[in-house]
């Protein structure tokens, strides 16, 4: 069979060129720092896509797992705690700990019907945030845990200035995530996820253990989100305050999945580009441009691009569901012959 | 040690706030009962109602109407916000939900989340309106003071308990509304149509019930109750903000689930319970844990008794 590059391959190949492009572009137009954010949220949304896209379970608390990952990373690495692990071992540990958190939330709740499950995950997201904020003895409350180490590679420590190293590290981790999920998607497990999404009762009668399969989807999503959280904490060198992982982040991830194409990896990548692009490239650049041209936001709420964020997220969700329910890049569905 | 007067005082506050929560919860429970949608935007419709009320206070100059005029002013606010929130909720159904009746429940829910964000953003913009009541619109995102049109004086004189006219207003508005609503659902033609659609929309439409119009009416009534609640809330708590819809919405949704979603008396019982739990937690635990406690109640109820306290046991249809 002749190998043809799929859309995912093309997107990721194009992504490698952006730092090179930045070399010739003027400073205001440079993109690689913002595109890092696209990669980070693409990883988070790929996690959400496993539980919401493949298994069909709406999770409104994915940011909570990101927070758990970030704080795990923080507690394992920061010098004020006894562990003081390095970047790689701590990042590696966020994955099983995230999965464990997913398991703890999933075990009692996966029997619930779809909309109730969505509310429970939303509630979980709020509880995690409140607990992180209020248990300030451990989590330093709103100060966040810092400073946190950057990755080391062959004895070299990466600082925040090494922008391109960060860029390629995130890209590499995104590629690893994509490959892992792509393999999962085509495995027995992936087919079981699709099957319970389409018809739970039929799957059960075909011998699929629905609860267990749902649980694995939940834990996988949580593990990936936790890894994204650990990465984000390391980039910022701080966990930030707990409200950095609020409902807005969960909704951003949901927007990415819904707008891009629910259940489609290429869709999630495109969705991340569109939504994060809007959120942290267009809005940020527009703010900078307006400040440079003396259009102050002073006194007028409409003139600050950041104030349009909720409206953009909301419209994205409403319009995507209404006009393009399968997203910008719909998944290729293999249907059984009729 | 438990001081009896502190406890009773918190109970009064809890019950008054609980009645407001109950009024919002009815909006959730009615919509859920009829199309099984958690109308995420309901809390934000409530928030916009409060913003309209504050705008009316500023535009009509109600503060200067004198003591008896202010009572008339409150009536104007109640009617205005109720009509506004009812129409807004109806429009959401018309624009964002109606075309999705045949798609999956989850896309409907996602659409509702989107509407909630849109409404919240409109609230943020509204806060920037250059009016005196919005502090000139300079700090759009900041909470706004709502003038105390109903005085917060103690009616019991120097007694050890404190009951204010604002408490009485809460009860005087919410109780008749709840009674009226119950009668409407039980006795009128529209109420019967609503119950029929809730039970089986296809059969109802075969019997000649205009299903979409009945659903629209349900959204309008639910929204209008949210509008009444928004005015009462503003007069009782005297501060409003564009993010208050999320908090109020979660409390009310928890109340609806606690009482058994789809059940009107359940929503009232749930609202009173949540109001009291909040008040007691503020007093006897720490303020900062109150939200966590409400969420824990929600999660535990959903896990262990998803049909709520008064909800009928019903299996999900295949």
pLDDT reading at A157 higher than 70: no
B147, part of any domain? no
Closest CA to A266 of A112, A49, A33, A3: A49
Instruction: Specify the pLDDT at position A85.
Output: 85
Instruction: Specify the pLDDT at position A144.
Output: 86
Across residues A51-67, what is the average pLDDT?
93
B141, part of any domain? no
A210: contact with B, CB 8 A cutoff: no
Residue with structure tokens 């954010």? A37
* Distant-in-sequence, close-in-space partners of B225: CB < 8 Å, separation ≥ 6: B23, B24, B26, B27, B82, B177, B181
pLDDT reading at B315 higher than 50: no
Instruction: Specify the pLDDT at position B45.
Output: 97
pLDDT reading at B179 higher than 90: yes
Classified as helix, coil or strand, A153 is strand
Nearest to B117 among A126, A307, A310 (CB): A310
The residue with greater pLDDT, A64 or A137, is A64
Classified as helix, coil or strand, A156 is strand
A211, part of any domain? yes
* Distance of residue A66 Cα from the nearest chain B Cα, in angstroms: 19
Q: How many domains does chain B have?
A: 1
B312, part of any domain? no
**B306 chain-A contacts, CB cut-off 8 A:** 112-113, 116
Highest mean pLDDT among A282-296, B150-164, B166-180: B166-180
Instruction: Specify the pLDDT at position B31.
Output: 92
Cα–Cα dist B221/B225, whole Å: 6
A254: contact with B, CB 8 A cutoff: yes
Nearest to A127 among B118, B295, B302 (CB): B295
A109: contact with B, CB 8 A cutoff: yes
B150, part of any domain? no
CB contact under 8 A, A130 and B295: yes
pLDDT reading at A129 higher than 80: yes
A54 in Cβ contact with A185 (< 8 Å): yes
Q: Which pair of tokens denotes residue A82?
A: 């006894």
CA A10 to chain centre: 21
A332, part of any domain? no
A242, part of any domain? yes
Q: How many domains does chain A have?
A: 1
CA dihedral A218, A219, A224, A225 (to 10 degrees): 60
B317, part of any domain? no
Across residues A243-258, what is the average pLDDT?
92
A1, part of any domain? no
- % residues pLDDT > 90 (chain A): 44
pLDDT reading at A238 higher than 60: yes
ipTM associated with this complex? 0.88
What crossing angle do the helices spanning A163-186 and A32-48 adopt, rounded to 10°?
Answer: 20
**Domain of residue A242, residue span:** 7-22+29-323
B40, part of any domain? yes
CB contact under 8 A, A316 and B114: yes
CB contact under 8 A, A109 and B292: no
Highest mean pLDDT among A45-59, A111-125, B278-292: A45-59
The residue with greater pLDDT, A153 or B1, is A153
From residue B80, alpha-carbon distances to B17, B61, B75, B196, B231 in Å are 22, 15, 8, 30, 10
Nearest to B99 among A301, A316, A322 (CB): A322
B58, part of any domain? yes
Lowest mean pLDDT among A275-284, A292-301, B26-35, B86-95: A292-301
**CATH of residue B204:** 1.10.3470
Nearest to A127 among B105, B107, B292 (CB): B292
Closest-CA residue of chain B to A116: B302
Cα–Cα dist B318/A337, whole Å: 24
Cα–Cα dist B76/B61, whole Å: 12
**Domain of residue B67, residue span:** 4-130+156-304
A335, part of any domain? no
CB contact under 8 A, A307 and B100: no
Q: If residue B13 lies in a helix (H) or strand (E), which one and from where to where?
A: helix B4-35
Closest-CA residue of chain B to A254: B110
A194, part of any domain? yes
A297 in Cβ contact with A303 (< 8 Å): yes
Cα–Cα dist B64/A152, whole Å: 68
Across residues B68-76, what is the average pLDDT?
88
**CATH of residue A227:** 1.10.3470
**B128 chain-A contacts, CB cut-off 8 A:** 300-302
B313, part of any domain? no
Classified as helix, coil or strand, A62 is helix
pLDDT band at B105 (very low <50, low <70, confident <90, very high): confident
- % residues pLDDT > 70 (chain A): 92
């Amino acid at each position: 069979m002749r190998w043809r590059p799929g859309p995912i391959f093309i997107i990721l190949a194009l992504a490698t060129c952006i730092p090179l492009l930045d070399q010739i572009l003027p400073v205001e137009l440079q993109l690689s720092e913002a595109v890092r954010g696209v990669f980070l949220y693409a990883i988070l949304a790929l996690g959400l896509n496993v539980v919401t896209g493949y298994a069909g379970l709406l999770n409104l608390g994915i940011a909570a797992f990101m927070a758990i990952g970030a704080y795990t990373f923080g507690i394992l690495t920061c010098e004020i705690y006894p562990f003081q692990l390095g970047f790689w071992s701590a990042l590696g540990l966020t994955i099983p700990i995230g999965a464990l958190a997913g398991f703890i939330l999933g075990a009692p709740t996966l029997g619930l019907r779809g909309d109730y499950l969505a509310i429970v995950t939303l509630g979980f997201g709020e509880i995690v945030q409140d607990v992180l904020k209020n248990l300030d003895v451990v989590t330093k409350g709103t100060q966040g845990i810092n400073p946190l180490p950057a990755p080391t590679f062959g004895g070299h420590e990466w600082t925040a200035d090494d922008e391109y190293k960060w860029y390629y590290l995130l890209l590499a981790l995104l590629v690893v995530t994509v490959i892992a999920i792509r393999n999962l998607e085509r495995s027995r497990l992936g087919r079981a996820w699709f099957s319970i999404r389409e018809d739970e009762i039929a799957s059960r009668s075909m011998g699929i253990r629905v609860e267990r399969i749902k649980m694995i989807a939940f834990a996988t999503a949580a593990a990936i989100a936790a890894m994204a959280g650990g990465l984000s904490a390391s980039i910022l060198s701080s966990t930030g305050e707990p409200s950095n992982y609020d409902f807005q982040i969960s909704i951003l991830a949901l927007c990415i999945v819904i707008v891009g194409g629910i259940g489609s990896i290429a869709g999630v990548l495109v969705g991340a580009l569109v939504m994060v692009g809007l959120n942290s490239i267009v809005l940020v650049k527009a703010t900078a441009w307006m400040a440079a041209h003396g259009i102050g936001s002073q006194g007028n709420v409409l003139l600050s691009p950041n104030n349009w964020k909720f409206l953009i997220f909301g419209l994205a969700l409403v319009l995507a569901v209404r006009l393009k329910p399968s997203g910008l890049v719909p998944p290729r569905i293999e249907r059984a012959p009729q | 040690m438990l001081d009896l007067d502190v406890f009773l005082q918190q109970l009064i506050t809890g019950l008054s706030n609980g009645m407001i929560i109950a009024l919002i919860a009815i909006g959730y429970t009615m919509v859920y009962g009829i199309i099984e949608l958690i109308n995420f935007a309901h809390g934000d419709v409530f928030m916009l109602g409060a913003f309209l009320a504050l705008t009316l206070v500023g535009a009509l100059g109600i503060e200067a109407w004198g003591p008896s005029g202010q009572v008339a002013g409150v009536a104007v606010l109640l009617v205005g916000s109720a009509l506004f929130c009812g129409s807004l909720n109806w429009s959401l159904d018309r624009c964002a939900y109606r075309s999705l009746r045949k798609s999956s429940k989850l896309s409907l829910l996602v659409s509702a989340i989107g509407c909630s964000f849109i409404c919240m953003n409109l609230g943020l913009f509204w806060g920037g309106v250059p009016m005196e009541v919005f502090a000139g619109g300079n700090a759009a995102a900041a909470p706004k003071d709502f003038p105390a049109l109903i005085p917060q004086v103690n009616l019991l004189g120097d007694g050890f308990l404190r009951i204010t006219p604002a408490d009485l207003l809460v009860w005087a508005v919410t109780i008749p509304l709840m009674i009226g609503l119950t009668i409407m659902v039980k006795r009128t033609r529209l109420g019967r149509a609503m119950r029929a659609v809730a039970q089986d929309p296809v059969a109802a439409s075969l019997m000649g019930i205009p299903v979409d119009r009945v659903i629209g009416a349900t959204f309008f009534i639910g929204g209008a109750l949210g509008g009444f609640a928004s005015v009462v809330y503003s007069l009782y708590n005297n501060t409003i903000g564009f993010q208050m819809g999320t908090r109020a919405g979660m409390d009310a949704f928890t109340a609806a689930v606690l009482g058994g979603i789809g059940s009107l008396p359940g929503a009232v019982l749930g609202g009173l319970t949540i109001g009291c739990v909040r008040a007691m937690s503020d007093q006897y635990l720490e303020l900062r844990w109150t939200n966590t406690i409400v969420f824990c109640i929600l999660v535990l109820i959903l896990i262990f008794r998803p049909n709520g306290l008064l909800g009928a046991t019903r299996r999900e249809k295949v």
